[in-house]
Amino acid sequence: MGLPDTVQVLEQCRIAPPTGSSISTTSLLLTFLDLPMLVLPPIERIFFYEFNHSKSHFMNTILPNIKHSLSLALQHYYPLAGSLTWSQEANTPKILYTIGDTVSLTVAECDHDFYHLAGYHARDDNDFHPLVPMFGRVNSSDKLFPVMALQVTLFPNKGICIGIKLNHAVADGRTSNQFMKLWASFCKLEGNHSLVATDSSLPLYDRSIVKDPKELEKKILKNMANANITRDTFKFLAMPSSVSARADPPVRATFVIGQSDVKKLKQWVLTRLNNKKEIPPQLHLSTFVLGCAYVWVCLIKTRWGADDVALSVDQEERFAFVFDCRSQLNPPVPTTYFGNCLGFSMVICNRKELLQEDGIAIAAELLGKKIQSIRNDPEEIWKPLASFYCGSVDREHMLGVAGSPKLNVYETDFGWGKPKKVEITSTGSSAVSLSEHPIEERALEIGLVLSKKEMDAFASLFENNLKTLPA
C-alpha cells in the first residue's frame, strides 16, 4: 500500500513569533552568496524519533509544546516566517518579514510502518514525500513566496517525524540546522529561555560583514539577466514540488562507512598512489574525501562498469560539492551568520580512469588536491560563483553532495531522545546525502536514491569492495 493513503492531515495551522515580541518589519537582501541558490531545490529534511505514546497524549501534551516552542524559536529566526520577494527599489531579491507573518505547520497522522521508513534498507522513495511539508498555494501576482514550511507526523505508539522545507536562497544547511536545534531545545526544556538562548548562539543578520571584493553580485545578476531571471520575471525558481509518483518508483537507501572502513580506504589509497609514486605533499585524505571517492566510483561502476561501449568512450564525469566558507572569508564570518555562506567546487575525471582498478585512489587524489587548494588559495572560493547561470549542466554525468557530517543533525533532540534516522529528501539520483552516524564516532552515513536495479547493484559493489580491502 502506498504511503499517501496512510497519511491523514489532522490540523493545518499557522505559527507566528510570540505576541508582543519586539520584532518590527524587516527586510534582508540576498547577497552574492545567496543568489546562486535561487535555482536549487529547497532544503528538505525529515527527522524520525521513537515515541511510544498514544495519539491523545500527543495531541493534548506534546503538540501544544511543539507549537509553543516553535513560536519561541521564530522570535529569534523571524525571517523564516517571512516571504521572498523582489521589490522595484531593490537590486536583488530580499526576505521580507512583516508583523503578523506566520509559518505553515501541518500536523498529520500516519499508520505506515515507522521502523520500515526509519531504516537503512531500500524503501520506495515515494513513501517519504507525504512526510515533507508543502509550501501551499502561492499568489504569484503578489510575488511574495513563503520561505519555510514544517510538518509533524505522528505514528501512534511508535514515533514522530518532523519535516522541514526551506528555500535554499534564504539559508544554507548550517543556518537551517541551527534553527532546528533551537526549536528542539525550546521544546525539550518546555520554553525555558534562560537555559537555551544566549547571544553567542543566536542568528546574526548583519549583511555588512559579508564582503564582495570581486563584485560578484554584479556578475551574477548579469548572468541571471542573460538567463531571463530579472525583477520582472522573478518567480518561485527554487520551489519545485516533490518528485511525482512513477510506475517504476525509485528506492532510497542509506549506507555506512565506518571508522575501520575509512582507515582501510586511506591505507589502500596511499599504497596505490605510492606504487605509482604519485603521492602529493600534504594530500588531504579526510573521511569526506575517502567516502565521496568511494561512493562516486561505486556509482560509476554501477552505471557503466559492464557497458563495453561506455568503457571505450572518453566521457568526462563530474563530482560537485559545496563547503562552508564562513571561516575563510576576509574577515571571517561568525558561524551563526544567517544566510548562505557556501563555496562551490568540482572535480572532473575521465570515466575510463574511474573504472580502472585504481579508480578510488584517482578520485581521492583529485578530491584531496582540490580541497587542499581551496584551503591554500581564497581565490578558489570565488571562481565558480562568477559563472553561475551560464550554460547548462549535464546531470547524467555529474554527482553532487547534500548535507555534511559536520552539521551533527543527530543532536537535534526535541525531548524524545536523538533521532532514530534523518533523511534529506530533496536529493534525487544526481546527488548523494551525507551525515554523521548517530552512534559510531567518525562514521559516515551516505544516502542515495536509485532505481531498484541500480540500488541492488550498488549495494553489492559497496559491501563487497569494502570486505576485500586489506585490514
The CATH number of the domain holding residue 298 is: 3.30.559.10
Q: Which of 226, 241, 264 is the last residue of a domain?
A: 226
Question: 72 and 199 share a domain?
Answer: yes
Question: 120 and 221 share a domain?
Answer: yes
Count of domains in the chain? 2
Question: 430 and 300 share a domain?
Answer: yes
Q: Give a yes or no: residue 452 inside a domain.
A: yes
Question: 217 and 301 share a domain?
Answer: no
What is the model's pLDDT at position 284? 86
Q: Give a yes or no: residue 273 inside a domain.
A: yes
Range of the domain at 29: 3-226
Q: Is the pLDDT of residue 92 over 90?
A: yes
Q: Active-site positions?
A: 168, 413
The mean per-residue pLDDT over the stretch 415-431 comes to 93
Question: 211 and 268 share a domain?
Answer: no
Read off the DSSP letter of residue 38: G
Provide the pLDDT confidence category of residue 423 given band limits of 50, 70 and 90. very high
Question: 144 and 272 share a domain?
Answer: no
- What percentage of residues in the chain have a pLDDT greater than 90? 71
Q: Give a yes or no: residue 237 inside a domain.
A: no
Q: Give a yes or no: residue 281 inside a domain.
A: yes
Question: 186 and 289 share a domain?
Answer: no
In angstroms, the CA 15 to CA 150 distance is 10
Q: Give a yes or no: residue 58 inside a domain.
A: yes
- Residue matched to cell numbers 501541518: 106
- Quote the pTM value: 0.94
Residue 151, CA distances (Å) to 116, 161, 166, 267 in order: 20, 8, 12, 44
Question: 257 and 142 share a domain?
Answer: no
What is the model's pLDDT at position 238? 45
Q: Give a yes or no: residue 232 inside a domain.
A: no
Helix (H) or strand (E) holding 83: strand 83-85
Helix (H) or strand (E) holding 29: strand 26-29
Question: 94 and 203 share a domain?
Answer: yes
Torsion 370-375-377-379 (CA) sign: positive
Question: 193 and 334 share a domain?
Answer: no
Question: 294 and 149 share a domain?
Answer: no
The mean per-residue pLDDT over the stretch 199-211 comes to 89
What is the model's pLDDT at position 471? 67
Residue 52, CA distances (Å) to 114, 154, 422 in order: 11, 10, 19
Q: Is the pLDDT of residue 193 over 80?
A: no
Q: Give a yes or no: residue 242 inside a domain.
A: no
